[in-house]
Amino acid sequence: MIRNQWYAVLDSKEIKKGKLLGVTRMGEKLVFWRNTDGAIGCLADKCAHRGVKLSCGKIISGSVQCPFHGFRYDTSGKGILIPANGRNAAVPRNFKVPSYPALDAHGLIWIFWGEAKKLPEIPWFDNLGSDFSYSTVADPWDAHYSRVIENQLDVVHLPFVHYNTIGRGNKTLVHGPLAELEGSAIRVWMRNAVDDGRTRPAKPSQIDKSSSPVYLYFIYPNIWQNVISDDLRVMIAFAPVDEAHTVAYLRFYQRFIKVPGLKQFVNWIGGRGNIRIAHQDRRVVETQQPKPSGLKIGENLIQGDNPIVLYRKYREKLQKKR
């Protein structure tokens, strides 16, 4: 995983007011909660005293109370009370739990996985505003998050994996695709066609963006969008659990129906469709070896894999920065 990045790791609704949530993310056991002012706390799920899970405890005045001996910690992980020593006793500095900056934004919970004197802005899509409504479905995968991301940048698999859904039409010939890196984002334009036996795939440089209204939009480290039309999008946040597991937060975004009640129903239907398509992918992606992706992992790639190659190269560059 790439250090010093904002990662979307949960749906905002998963953190309930007054309740602790213990989950594994980034290969670490973490505990999340909402402070009295709604701010998000994120600590290692392990008391500095005797190693008990803090997520089994309580929230007391915005701080986390360990269920074993009542030790309390604020959102920075600093110990603020050792009951056995008295409420006015100073807490030694070593009673501190590792913490991560955490924010609630765009209906997602984000953590900054690393260290920074000044935190960067949370990454988000410049073409996905508040005029869209959406539904969210959390979908667990037995796959490394990099493999799940690559699957959403792969335009070659569509007629095979999704032969009866979004890949209908047997368009096996892949023109391009054109993949461009813009800052910390990748945009992909593609055009698949039926193979007539006479046409050769166009080179990436020959792809006309204006004639390809559908495109893919990925922002490092872990959010992706399929721009289907001006009013319809599919978005995924790939939350890394550990080296072999990911939770994909699938979202169906639309702004063509605005009537309350009806738009929620349409969003729900769209979410069901997302799950059906995602599970077609999941069946094959979970079999890939090795689990994590990389530049040199013994694969033989083709022109149609251009977006995946670009993703891997920039991912490796970011990993070397840490």
Q: What Å distances lie between residue 144 and 78, 87, 171, 234, 237, CA to CA?
A: 32, 45, 29, 21, 13
How much is the pTM?
0.94
Which tokens go with 221? Answer: 């480290």
DSSP three-state, residue 106 = coil
Reported as half-sphere exposure (CB side, CA atoms, 13 A), residue 76 has a value of: 5
Taken in order 9, 11, 14, 17, the sign of the CA dihedral is positive
List the domain boundaries for the chain: 5-113, 133-321
Can you give the pLDDT at residue 154?
97
Residue ranges of the chain with pLDDT lower than 70?
213, 322
Q: What is the pLDDT of residue 1?
A: 87
pLDDT digits (tens, 9 = 90+) for 134-167: 999 999 999 999 999 999 999 999 999 999 999 9
Instruction: Determine the pLDDT at residue 322.
Output: 64
Q: Is 170 left (phi over 0), alpha (psi -120 to 50) or beta?
A: left
| DSSP-derived secondary structure for 42-98 | EEESS-TTT---GGGSEEETTEEE-TTT--EE-TT-BEEE-GGG-TTSPPPTT-B--
Q: Is the peptide bond before 221 cis (omega within 30 degrees of 0)?
A: yes
Phi-psi region of 151 (alpha: psi -120 to 50; beta: other; left: phi over 0): alpha
Pick the CATH number of 5-113 from 1.10.3720.10, 2.60.40.420, 2.102.10.10, 3.40.50.2000: 2.102.10.10
Q: Which residue, 284, 293, 286, is CA-closest to 167?
A: 284
> What's the pLDDT at 262?
96
Spatial separation of the C-alpha atoms in residues 130 and 112, rounded to whole Å: 24
* Token output for 110: 């984000």
**Interatomic CA distance for residues 141 and 278, integer angstroms:** 10
Question: What confidence tens digit (pLDDT) does each residue in 273-291 have?
Answer: 999 999 999 999 999 999 9
- Rounded-to-integer distance, Cα 45 and Cα 30, Å: 5
Closest CA to 14 of 62, 67, 55, 63: 55
Q: What is the DSSP string of 218-287?
A: EETTTEEEEEEETTEEEEEEEEEEETTEEEEEEEEEE-S--STTHHHHHHHHHHHHHHHHHHHHHHHHTT
| Tokens, residue 242 | 């550990």
Helix H or strand E segment including 150: helix 145-152
By the 10 Å C-beta count (0-12 exposed, 13-18 middle, 19+ buried), 286 is classed as middle
Contact between 147 and 285 under an 8 Å Cβ cutoff? The reply is: yes
Question: Tokens 């007629």 map to which residue?
Answer: 159
CATH code assigned to 133-321: 3.90.380.10
pLDDT the model gives residue 76: 93
For 112, phi then psi, to 5°, come to: -90, 105
How deeply is 4 buried, as exposed, middle or buried, from its count of CB atoms within 10 A (0-12, 13-18, 19+)? middle
